[in-house]
Structure 1
Amino acid sequence: MPEQYKSLQGFRDILPEDQPYWRYVEKAAAEVAQLYGYRRIETPLLEETSLFRRTSGEGTDIVDKEMYSFDDRADKEGHRLNLSLRPEGTAGVVRAYLEHGMFKLPQPVKLYYLGEAMFRRDKPQAGRYREHHQFGCEALGEEDPAVDAEMIGLLYQVYTTLGLKDIQVYINSIGDGNCRPQYIEILKDYYRPLLDSCCDDCQVRFHKNPLRLLDCKEPQDQAKIANAPKISDHLCEPCREHFAAVQTFLKAYEVPFSVDPLIVRGLDYYTRTVFEFTSTRDKLALNGGGRYDGLAEILGGQHTPGIGFGAGIERIIQELKRQGITPPEELRPRAFVAYFDRTPEGKNAAVQLVAELRLAGIKTEMSYGDRSPKAQMKRANGSGADYAVLLKSEELAEGLVTVKDLQAAGTDIDSKQVQVKRDELIAYLQQ
């Protein structure tokens, strides 16, 4: 017996019954992003691996464990590029911003991407897959804290537009190049005598990415994290003022936020404002983001302030289902064409009519496979269509068709069906 193939672990099919959720989320995200002045961008699925190594940083889980990378075939000169499926969206967007000279445009340049696949080879979890899809926004070229508040307010409005409730926003400032290095030394001094009892990952993070010690999820390290020195106590004055302004501006957007000094984000390029959205009903983390004022410089550009987020669409849909929110029903068929003359001429008349109705913008279905009139009517009743259009050879010869109202109540057959002139059918169905 032939081998039965299944989707790979961490990958899945998005079946037709789930598509209304995807369209619902994508519609709300696009409308709110455009309301805030963001324009859509799409970047390639593949980038040079070095793009992510330089931006995400050595010692991060993305670089060390989670990327799907491979060597491309050598070119004529024998050069061989190492490529990766994109694990996140920000690096590619900043690369495009620099490559296409968007820094010459009026700043900030506000961009969004929607439904793009990201790939991370980590352990699949609830609502998190090795191939997942994101809605993300990036605002480049402006360090004004009003942009930070706008970004967070935009995402919160997407969630409220979808009907989600009990969404809590947690924010923090992780400082900048002036104050964070001193804080990291204070943090390392705190962790140094505790290092032997830390998990293996934290022992690596201590040397490669100390700030991520506060992002550890291992139970054995939670007490250490709770007692660790807080970066909020070590911010320089400009960072303190920036963070205070963000909190003031957020109130204008009516965002329910709390300050959480343990939010640090997992990537090296974040500075100052970082944030996470969580469902308070089930403590499900929905998304995260933050400011990255030095990322463009890492990629060879000029100093370019930036801020952005990535929200997993799978996570959002999971939360919609948890809260019992269903998307609007898809448009049901307006007509179902059934042909009672099962000759080639009768079948041809049915196909011609179905094509004509569809070309007129009327959603139409028909039965296939030369089924009996009784079987066709059974399919018509189960299709959800508003009307069944019945084709009978004797009526067609007189330029008529019978239209049966499939949604009408009662059992009076005559009240449910009428004869309509064949050349007036489109107008009748468009009423």
Structure 2
Amino acid sequence: MPKESKKKKAAQIQRVKGMHDILPDDQWLWDQVRSATKKIAEYYNFVRLDTPVLEQASLFERTVGEATDIVEKQMFIVQTKGKERLVMRPEWTAGAARAYIENSLSQRGFPVKLYTDLSLFRYEQPQEGRFREFHQLDLEIISSENDPIYDVQIMLVLTRIIESLKIKGFSISVNSIGCKSCRPPYKKELQNYYKGVKSQLCADCARRLEANPLRLLDCKEEKCVELKKNAPIIIDHLCNTCHNHFKQVLEYLDEVQLPYALDHHLVRGLDYYTKTVFEINCEGVDFAIAGGGRYDYLIELLGGKNTPAVGAAAGIERLIKVMKMQNPEKKPKEKQKIFLVHIGELAKKKSLSLIEELRKANIEITESLGKESLKAQLRVADKEGCPYALIFGQREAFEDNIILRDLKTGTQETVMLRKLAETLKKRS
């Protein structure tokens, strides 16, 4: 007889490069971030807005800027059968502005305060602190007034969220990048400076010098970071309106005692920003954990009315990295559950309805219904650190009772099923 051929093992499929799994042991950290965001944002009267993962490509090309890394290199573009160009959202503010206009959210009355937490997608080179799918918490304040108090309030809300996560050693850097009136003369001076050192620029910066010289200040290439140190600063070119706006921002920051440092070369990586921009950095990591700024022209650029606004965002993966670094082994103790052991087919069948009855009584149960032997199930109970086991066998299923065993002392008693919830509540 011919030998049976050995069955070939199926090839293992790996996760996509730049993506990551959020494992069960880390979920409590994600819950903390989301819970803190919801609690604090809603205290300050923010309401949640969720937008689709897919948006029109033109939404970001028009707002983020064609000479930015996001539009030039990082967008995940989806071509539909109808030749429609869609993008997996690379950032949220433009989508929030689109939703604000399309759904007439101005009818809620000003200011409109929006928050969310969501996944974003950028085709970046994966490295520490950078993924191709990542998550952010976002805050936006859309107002009828161009009032600097909202610039500071959004920084305040963001820092309160960070503080509630027990993150220490973070600092705020602020700058003003002016407006349509005062920015052009500064751009000209910036171009003149960089033309003198053009041979030392990276390829991207050399290409962007004419189209968008502000982007050079946001470059992370080491040689460009060095050149930035001697670049002209925009604070010397601000018009009276922008100068007074920024002066008030700093006064409000002093009033609420938010420590800050001036960074005259801070611009952020998106073209829609105006006036105030800020970043939050933290000791021990070499990337910003949060940032934001004002975007007074964005809503008008998307077909809405001239409406001032300011936004902020924090990277959730980055926050969690800092939380783990600063507070290792701080996972809260989980509430100990009671383990249900079944013995025999009838008890196994009745276990499902028994679990439902205990759920209604708010008693937390864990089990291993797929295992049949008493020993195997008790091993699982021991591994999970359960203080008590409910042993439900054929006899107990017929007699409507159950054995309650203390897994530490080994003592046990028989309890009628109708009195089980009451008995367990006394033990908790």
Q: TM-score range, shorter-chain basis? A: over 0.9
Residue 181 of structure 2 aligns with an amino acid whose one-letter code is N
Match of 1:374 in 2: 375
**Separation in structure 2 between the aligned mates of residue 357 and residue 330 of structure 1, nearest angstrom:** 22
Q: Does the C-alpha gap of structure 1 residues 279 and 246 become closer, same or farther in structure 2, counting only changes over 3 Å?
A: same
SS in 1 for 2:293: strand
Q: 1:111 to 1:370 in 2, by over 3 A?
A: closer
> 1:24·1:327 contact (CA, 8 Å) conserved in 2?
no
1:30 aligned onto 2:38: yes
Shift of 1:81: 1.8
Percent identity (aligned): 40
Tell me, yes or no, if structure 1 residue 197 matches structure 2 residue 197: no
Correspondence 1:229 to 2:232? yes
Q: Shift of residue 374 of structure 1?
A: 2.0
Equivalents in 2 of 1:282, 1:131: separation in Å?
A: 20
Instruction: Tell me which amino acid in the other structure corresponds to 1:30.
Output: K
CA distance in 1, matches of 2:350, 2:394: 9
**What is the Cα deviation at residue 402 of structure 1?**
2.4
Tell me, yes or no, if the aligned pair for 1:334 and 1:364 is still in contact at 8 Å: yes
Instruction: Determine the structure 2 residue equivalent to 1:188.
Output: 191
Match of 2:391 in 1: 390
Distance 1:73 1:397 in 2: 61
* 2:14 corresponding residue in structure 1: 6
The one-letter code of the counterpart of 1:356 is: E
CA distance in 1, matches of 2:295, 2:333: 40
Superposed displacement of residue 399, structure 1 = 4.5
Counterpart CA distance in 2 for 1:140 and 1:326 is 40
Q: Which amino acid aligns with 1:297?
A: E
Query: Are 1:296 and 2:307 counterparts?
Result: no
Distance change (3 Å), C-alpha of 1:287 and 1:418: same
Q: Which residue of 2 aligns with 1:257?
A: 260
Aligned to 1:427: 422
Distance 2:347 2:62 in 1: 67
Aligned residue for 2:332? 329
- Residue 172 of structure 1 is matched in structure 2 by 175
Give per-residue Cα distances to partners, 1:315-370, cap 9 Å, x unaligned: 1111111112556537445311113xx33223223333223223433221222334
* TM-score normalized with structure 2 length: 0.92
Question: 1:9-408 residue pairs with structure 2 within 5 A?
Answer: 9-74=17-82, 80-114=83-117, 116-141=118-143, 142-325=145-328, 328-329=331-332, 331-339=334-342, 342-394=343-395, 399-406=400-407
8 Å CA contact 2:341–2:391 kept in 1: the answer is yes
**SS at the partner of 1:83?**
strand
Q: Which amino acid aligns with 1:134?
A: Q
Aligned residue in 1 for 2:5 = none
- Which string of whole-angstrom CA distances, capped at 9 and with x for unpartnered residues, describes residues 107-162 of structure 1? 11000011x11110011121221011110011112321110110000010001101
1:386 Cα deviation (Å)? 3.5
Change (3 A) 1:196 1:396: closer
Give deviations 1:284-317, integer Å, cap 9, x for gaps: 3102210000001111111110110221111111
CA distance, structure 1, for counterparts of residue 77 and residue 92 of structure 2:
16
Instruction: Tell me how far apart the structure 1 counterparts of residues 216 and 405 of structure 2 sit (CA, whole Å).
Output: 68
Does the aligned pair in 2 maintain the 1:58–1:208 contact within 8 Å? no
CA distance in 2, matches of 1:192, 1:346: 81
Change (3 A) 1:404 1:343: closer
In structure 2, C-alpha distance between the alignment counterparts of 1:400 and 1:225, rounded to whole Å: 77
Residues 8 and 398 of structure 1: CA distance in aligned 2, closer, same or farther (over 3 Å): closer
Mapped partners of 1:304, 1:132: distance in 2: 29
Contact 2:344 2:393 in 1 (8 A): no
Q: Which consecutive unaligned segments of at least 5 residues does structure 1 have?
A: 75-79
Alpha-carbon distance in structure 2 between the residues aligned to 1:86 and 1:413: 56
**Farther-moved stretch of structure 1 (89-98 vs 194-203):** 194-203
Distance 2:84 2:393 in 1: 66
Q: Which letter maps to 1:21?
A: L
Q: What runs of 5+ residues in structure 2 fail to find an aligned partner?
A: 1-8
1:229 to partner: Cα distance? 0.7
Answer whether contact 2:173 2:260 (CA < 8 A) is retained: yes
Instruction: Name the amino acid aligned to 1:41.
Output: L
Q: CA separation of 1:382/1:60 partners in 2, compared to 1, >3 Å: closer, same or farther?
A: same
CA contact (8 A) 1:176 1:239 kept: yes
Question: Is the CA contact 1:354–1:366 (under 8 Å) kept in the aligned structure 2?
Answer: no
Pairwise CA RMSD of aligned residues?
A: 1.8
How far 1:393 sits from its partner (Å)? 4.5
Q: Which amino acid aligns with 1:419?
A: T
Deviates further, 388-397 or 247-256: 388-397
| Distance change (3 Å), C-alpha of 1:82 and 1:398 | closer
Aligned pairs, number: 417
Using the TM superposition, name which of 307-316 and 394-403 deviates more. 394-403
Any conservation in 1 of the 2:187–2:213 contact (CA below 8 Å)? Answer: yes
Give secondary structure in 1 for the equivalent of 2:272. Answer: coil
Distance 2:66 2:14 in 1: 34
